[in-house]
Structure 1
Amino acid sequence: MEVKIVSNDNQLQEAFSIRKKVFVEEQQVPLEEEIDQYEDEAVHFLLYDQNLPIGAGRFRPVDGFGKVERICVLEDHRKSGSGKAIMDKIEEYGKREGYKKLKLNAQTHAIPFYNKLGYEIVSEEFLDAGIPHRTMIKKI
């Protein structure tokens, strides 16, 4: 598996395609909420397994934090270290860019995954696109 920073429109469309499958089709998030006004300012990441794109995520600066967003892996490739590979690459990028803390809004079912990576809950539960979330932070 290899995680790459998206560097062209074709790769960006592949990332969007994965996000649509996971968030729009599986989780019923409205497309207009999934693909949002922050796409152009975000740095996008794409996970490949033998040249096949299987996961995605994005990073953007928000209020002095590096904000990790839209982490997803196609269903057939979950539980294989794929999500961790994406997170490792994003954290590496955040450090290189000089960020001291990363922030994310975790779907509540994914909190144990982010806990294992060192993220700590810093908010009460809230709904985003009708899905329960909690904000988590990690010092890097």
Structure 2
Amino acid sequence: MNDLHVRIADWHKDYEELRRIREAVFVAEQAVPPELEWDAEDSDAVHFLACEGDYPIGTARLLADGQIGRVSVLKDWRGLKVGEALLQAVIAEAEKRGLSQQMLSAQVQATPFYEKLGFTVVSDEYLEAGIPHVDMVRSSG
């Protein structure tokens, strides 16, 4: 991983890559129904692409209210700090936009990852698309 970088994506220009990653992770791997994966918020969200060189390997999105979602890294690149780089970029962009609190719905198995980045669990466990989740919040400053 010598050329990992994260950039803000253009929903229209980068749509195919964003879709390829999210379909692989959520729809194919985790069996999330496609109608739950794609929503009206995508067109207004700030999207991020993590790339190794020119090849997109991860994505996330930030909504105007500070909600972070659709964090996904292709299987072969997990455990290589791609998710961490993605989240740090999303948090930095949120803070730049004056969003001092960021929220996300985390898969329960991923909570230790988010806790390392400053998020705290603020809800009981619940099911989303058949997968156990908790709400998490991070406050800046």
Same fold, TM exceeding 0.5?
Answer: yes
**Superposed structure 1 runs of 4+ greater than 3 Å apart:** none
Question: Do the aligned partners of 2:11 and 2:43 also contact (CA within 8 Å) in 1?
Answer: no
Residue in 2 aligned with 1:135? 135
Residue in 2 aligned with 1:121? 121
**Cα shift at 1:9:** 2.2
Deviations 1:92-112 (A, max 9, x none): 100100011000000000001
| Distance in 1 of aligned mates of 2:79 and 2:96 | 28
| Distance in 2 of aligned mates of 1:12 and 1:47 | 14
Match of 1:9 among 9, 12, 17: 12
The residue type equivalent to 1:43 in the other structure is: V
The residue type equivalent to 1:19 in the other structure is: R
TM-score with structure 2 setting the length: 0.94
Identical residues among aligned pairs (%): 39
The DSSP-based 3-state class of the residue aligned with 2:59 is strand
Question: Do the aligned partners of 1:12 and 1:44 also contact (CA within 8 Å) in 2?
Answer: no
**Cα shift at 1:12:** 2.2
| Distance in 2 of aligned mates of 1:137 and 1:61 | 15
| Distance in 2 of aligned mates of 1:95 and 1:19 | 25
| Distance in 1 of aligned mates of 2:99 and 2:59 | 21
| Distance in 1 of aligned mates of 2:136 and 2:11 | 30
